[in-house]
Structure formats: structure tokens, C-alpha cells
Amino acid sequence: MVEAQTAPVWLFAYGSLIWRPDFDRLAEVPARAMGWSRRFWQGSHDHRGTPEAPGRVVTLVADPDGACDGVAYRLDTLVLAATFTALDHREKNGYERVDIDLELVDGKPLRAITYLAAPGNFAWLGPAPEAQIARQIASSHGPSGSNLDYLIGLGEALRARGWVDNHVFALENEIDPTLSGQRRR
Ligand code: SIN
């Protein structure tokens, strides 16, 4: 019997899904989302803060001059429904699944799904001075741990792959210059 061919399904990760993926995946490749920037503009009521004292986590914001480096995971289509059920739960605080166009290292395009928290969603916090965002991150805690651990985990994952994100590194620098990629570079 000939097995049905299933089209590959790719998931683009740009935040905690880079450094804490907890789903079945068959492959991963570095990928870049042109026209998007990673920003700590989304509130976290359920992971890195509480409804009374939300933390801040990343989302992608449209930015014509921006580019966001992340990881594209090829998902295991045999367990796709279960994977998305778990991810939808993990990303339930204002994120929606959307399609995104990526560029691979060799310049080839890749269409993927990503979890994006759009402006105006119920947990949206929006822009603020980086010193203020850093203070909020330094003081927030939630069921998944401290907001600072989220920032550090992300910063380390970016540096480990040789990626620069001035927003993320500036926030680290505000909190502790010894953490910061800006100081190391
Ligand atoms: C992602 O990592 O791609 C989404 C945002 C997050 O869970 O931190």
C-alpha cells in the first residue's frame, strides 16, 4: 500500500519556543522573518506573571525595516493535532496561529505557522521605554517561573546561534550588564 504523502508543516519560533520547545519535531532550521521585529510588548498573565501583575513576553510586530531571526521546526504530522492542542494551550494568552513568510539561510523562502500576539489583544501591553520594560521583567513571576529567566533564556538562545537582537540585549543590559550581549560584542 502506498502511504499518503503529507505536506510538511513548519512552525516558526521566535521566543520561548526557541529555547523550550516541548513538542515532537522532525527537523529544525534557522529562519528569518523579514518585516517583523521581536518585542517584549505582550503581557503574560499565565506563565511569567499573573493577571494582577502581568509579566512581559515577546511577540512579533510589523516593522518594514525589521527582521527577526528564529527557528523553523518541521512538525511531526502524525501527531499534528495533539501538537497544536498543546501549543494552543501554552500560547493561549492572546496569541493566534498565523501564517508567516520566512527566508532561509540560503535565501530560499519557507511558509510557516507562527504564534503571534496582535496589537489590541486582551493581554497586549504595547511599547514602553526599555528601562520600564526591564523593571517590569525583573519584578514579575508566574506559574512558569520568573520573567527574568524568560529574558535570560531567550538572550542565551540568540547568542548561542550568533543572532543579534538589540531590543532583547538592551533589556538584559538594563537589568545586569554582565548578562548582555551588547557588552560581550
Ligand atoms: C514563540 O516562542 O514563538 C512564541 C512566543 C513565546 O512563546 O515566547
Q: What is the pLDDT of residues 10-20, one digit of tens each?
A: 999 999 999 99
Q: Please identify which of the residues 3, 91, 103, 172 carries the catalytic annotation.
A: 91
Ligand 1, residues 39, 91, 161: which to mutate, most atoms within 8 A of Cβ?
91
Amino acid code (one letter) for 109: P
d(CA 24, CA 27): 10
Please state, as a whole number, how many other Cβ atoms lie within 10 Å of the Cβ of residue 14.
Answer: 26
What is the three-class DSSP state of 72? strand
Q: What is the per-residue pLDDT for 184? A: 42
- C-alpha distances out from residue 50 to 79, 81, 93, 142, 153, Å: 31, 29, 11, 6, 20
Q: What is the pLDDT of residues 131-164, one digit of tens each?
A: 999 999 999 999 999 999 999 999 999 999 999 9
The pLDDT confidence band at residue 2, using thresholds 50, 70 and 90, is low
Given a cut of 90, whether residue 182 has pLDDT beyond it is no
The pLDDT confidence band at residue 5, using thresholds 50, 70 and 90, is low
Ligand 1, residues 10, 11, 14: which to mutate, most atoms within 8 A of Cβ?
14
Q: What is the per-residue pLDDT for 180? A: 60
Mean pLDDT over 117-123 rounds to 97
Ligand 1: nearest atom to the Cα of 90: 7
Please, what is the Cα angle at 87 between 113 and 179, to 5 degrees?
Answer: 90
Clarify whether 130 is annotated catalytic. Answer: no
pTM (two decimals): 0.93
d(CA 55, CA 37): 19
Amino acid code (one letter) for 87: L
* Mean pLDDT of the residues in the chain: 94
DSSP 138: H
What sign results for the dihedral spanned by CA atoms 87, 93, 95, 97?
Answer: positive
Phi, psi of 85 (to 5 degrees): -60, -45
Q: At which residue does the C-alpha cell 486582551 appear? A: 122
Ligand 1: nearest atom to the Cα of 116: 4
Residue pair 108/101 in contact by the 8 Å Cβ criterion: no
Ligand 1: nearest atom to the Cα of 150: 8
Burial class (CB in 10 A: 0-12, 13-18, 19+), 85: exposed
